[in-house]
């Protein structure tokens, strides 16, 4: 699932390509993606003719601020990612007009397409069709539970060590689960939580009430470092994520534990272990990260 670095990368790339563009029309062959309003024709009519004034991230949500106080919210969920380019319709599928990264097989699951007034298209490629698309009145969105309940953003200036500590110490759960809890801090998912805890040398199942001050300091430091590095590299593409131009992010090469089960730890050569935490495969070095 795209996490903060991927969503941030998507937004930075989108801003360069679709700001000030107006939606001319929409095509969709998986109408269940549209959650609000649930009626696709109603959604389509509301979107057509609206201009993209700003694009912002809220947790892992992408918010397109449209004219006349509407907000298009897109959450890419497990396998969705937004692409910008030009395609043509051939034999029931969308084919990129030009050779290049949009031809990557991860980009071929296009189920939603917005046509823009400069000839470009904004597409959602989503293998499993779990993404969420909603159109809100601006006021209502910011009053909604899902936005109000989001935890502090990792790139927010207010995300200081003291704030982090306060939030973590309210819980008595496994640190990995707490890092992934969007109501506590927003933006970290399965991949980066493993990468952060490996660098901090903290076991992924360590209970938060057993963490020492020095562990908390290390975790905080590596949250900042790992996310900054991942953003500068355009995110990861071990999963289905691709940048809006279709290309892969560069974090894969920096990965130390995620999906490296059985491979030697880069620090001590012990094989990396995989366990399930809350249904999610999680990776750690049993020697560097002691419980």
2 is annotated as an active-site residue:
yes
User: Which residues, in sequence order, are CB contacts of 220 under 8 Å at separation 6+?
Assistant: 161, 164, 165
Question: Is 68 marked active-site?
Answer: no
Closest residue by beta carbon to Zn ion = 265
Handedness of CA 100, 26, 147, 171 (dihedral sign): negative
Give the CB-side neighbour count of residue 85, counting CA atoms within 13 A: 24
- Per the annotation, the verdict on 280 as an active-site residue is yes
Q: Least distance in Å: CB of 287 to Zn ion?
A: 5
Cβ 291 to Zn ion, closest distance in Å?
14
Cβ pair 207, 48 in contact under 8 A: no
Coil, strand, or helix at residue 5? helix
Q: Please identify which of the residues 3, 134, 195, 236 carries the catalytic annotation.
A: 3
Phi, psi dihedrals of residue 6, rounded to the nearest 5° = -75, -45
Q: For helices 4-18 and 213-232, what crossing angle results, to 10°?
A: 30
Catalytic residue among 60, 167, 242, 248: 60
How far apart are CB 236 and Zn ion at their closest, in Å? 21
Which one of the listed residues 2, 5, 101, 244 is annotated catalytic?
A: 2
**Shortest reach from residue 256's CB to Zn ion, in Å:** 9
Q: Which CB sits closer to Zn ion, 122 or 265?
A: 265
| Given 12, 129, 280, 287, the catalytic residue | 280
Neighbours of 61 (CB within 10 A): 20
> Which residues would be at the binding site for Zn ion (CB under 5 A)?
265, 267-268, 270, 285, 287-288
Q: Which is nearer to Zn ion, 19 or 267 (CB)?
A: 267
Distance, CA of 232 to CA of 2 (rounded, Å) = 15
Cα-based angle 101, 102, 106 (whole degrees, multiple of 5): 95
Nearest CB to Zn ion, comparing residues 34 and 288: 288
CB of 284 to Zn ion, least distance (A): 9
3 is catalytic: yes
Is omega for the bond preceding 37 within 30 degrees of 0, making it cis? Answer: yes
Q: 36 in the Ramachandran plot: left (φ > 0), alpha (ψ -120 to 50) or beta? A: beta
Residue placing its CB nearer to Zn ion in the complex, 4 or 257 = 257
The token duo for 153 is 């953003």
- Closer to Zn ion by CB, 238 or 267: give it: 267
Catalytic residues: 2-3, 60, 280
């Amino acid at each position: 699932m795209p996490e903060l670095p991927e969503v941030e990368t998507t937004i930075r790339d989108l801003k360069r390509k679709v700001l000030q563009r107006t939606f001319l029309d929409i095509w969709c062959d998986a109408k269940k993606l549209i959650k609000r309003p649930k009626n696709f024709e109603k959604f389509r009519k509301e979107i057509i003719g609206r201009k993209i004034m700003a694009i912002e991230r809220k947790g892992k949500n992408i918010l397109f601020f449209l004219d006349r106080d509407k907000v298009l919210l897109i959450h890419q969920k497990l396998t969705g990612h937004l692409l910008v380019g030009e395609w043509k319709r051939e034999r029931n599928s969308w084919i990129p007009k030009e050779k290049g990264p949009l031809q990557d097989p991860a980009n071929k699951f296009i189920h939603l397409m917005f046509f823009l007034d400069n000839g470009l298209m904004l597409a959602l490629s989503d293998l499993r069709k779990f993404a969420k698309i909603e159109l809100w009145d601006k006021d209502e969105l910011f009053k909604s539970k899902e936005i109000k309940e989001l935890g502090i953003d990792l790139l927010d200036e207010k995300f200081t060590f003291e704030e982090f500590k306060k939030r973590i110490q309210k819980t008595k759960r496994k640190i990995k689960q707490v890092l992934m809890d969007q109501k506590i801090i927003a933006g970290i998912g399965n991949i980066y939580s493993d990468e952060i805890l490996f660098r901090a040398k903290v076991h992924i199942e360590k209970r938060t009430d057993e963490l020492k001050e020095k562990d908390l300091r290390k975790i905080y430091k590596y949250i900042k470092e790992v996310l900054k590095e991942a953003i500068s590299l355009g995110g990861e593409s071990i999963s289905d994520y691709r940048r809006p131009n279709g290309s892969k992010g560069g974090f894969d090469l920096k990965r130390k534990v995620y999906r490296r089960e059985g491979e030697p730890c880069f620090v001590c050569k012990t094989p990396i272990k995989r366990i399930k935490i809350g249904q999610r495969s999680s990776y750690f070095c049993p020697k560097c990260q002691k419980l």
